[in-house]
Amino acid sequence: GAGVSQTPSNKVTEKGKYVELRCDPISGHTALYWYRQSLGQGPEFLIYFQGTGAADDSGLPNDRFFAVRPEGSVSTLKIQRTERGDSAVYLCASSLARRGLPFSNQPQHFGDGTRLSIL
Amino acid sequence: KQEVTQIPAALSVPEGENLVLNCSFTDSAIYNLQWFRQDPGKGLTSLLLIQSSQREQTSGRLNASLDKSSGRSTLYIAASQPGDSATYLCACSGAGSYQLTFGKGTKLSVIP
């Protein structure tokens, strides 16, 4: 597709369950980012991938959160033992930023997000 | 740690007015600053990106300026239309980090 695709668009689950959120970046984009947006707030950074590797995971709130990108394209954000405080919109973005390209002029393009509700 | 502030939190204007949205950031060592638009229940649409070496960028009725030394950016919208109603977010990426730090946004309502 032309844009960043995220599935599912909505996810409702019970506290304590495990969830997986998927992100399909724009074709050819090597950089992929996950953000989390709570109601009335701006998105907050979670993790950044360059290719297959997590280049910066400093935003992950705790060890219940984990993300992978095994083939350098699709990424999955995984949350274990979900808590009510994990309820938010999880946004994925991608960009062309990579070594050898000027980073400063590479915008991040966002998907529509997954709205996660923990009951 | 970078902090981004957007004022006002909400703004209501009549159709046809020109308006300015404000964004301030605490650390001037940025790579770039992006302005986004977010419609209810949707993701973010990139409007303009200003590199740290630039002073402004224009796209149609939108003009964004950047003053790194004072830690400020503005988004100017000319001849506002009801379809401009949305939340506008600014975000900047800092030296040594590709992550974006966002403000909380300004919710704009353009009244027909």
The fraction of chain A above a pLDDT of 90, given in percent, is 78
pLDDT of amino acid A54:
87
Collect all residues of chain B within an 8 Å Cβ-Cβ radius of residue A55: 98
pLDDT of amino acid A101:
60
Interface of B with A (CB under 8 A): 4, 31-32, 34, 36, 41-46, 49, 51-53, 89, 91, 93, 97-105
Asked if residue B86 has pLDDT above 80, the reply is: yes
Asked if residue A107 has pLDDT above 80, the reply is: yes
Is B80 in contact with B17 (CB distance < 8 Å)?
A: yes
Q: Count of CB atoms within 10 A of residue B29's CB? A: 12
DSSP assignment of B45-102 equals EEEEEEETT-SEEEETTEEEEEETTTTEEEEEE-S--GGG-EEEEEEEEETT---EEE
Mean pLDDT on A82-88: 97
pLDDT of amino acid B41:
85
Which of A55, A59, A110 has its CB closest to that of B44?
A: A110
pLDDT of amino acid B100:
92
Average pLDDT, whole number, for chain A?
A: 92
Q: How confident is the model at residue B56 (pLDDT cuts 50, 70, 90)?
A: very high
Alpha carbon of residue B28 to chain centroid? 16
Mean pLDDT on A15-20: 97
Asked if residue A14 has pLDDT above 70, the reply is: yes
Q: How confident is the model at residue A96 (pLDDT cuts 50, 70, 90)?
A: confident
Token pair of A107, please?
């915008």
Is A34 in contact with A23 (CB distance < 8 Å)?
A: yes
C-alpha distance from A110 to closest chain B C-alpha (Å): 6
**Rounded Cα–Cα distance for residues A113 and B12 (Å):** 27
Pick the more confident residue, A16 or B53.
A16
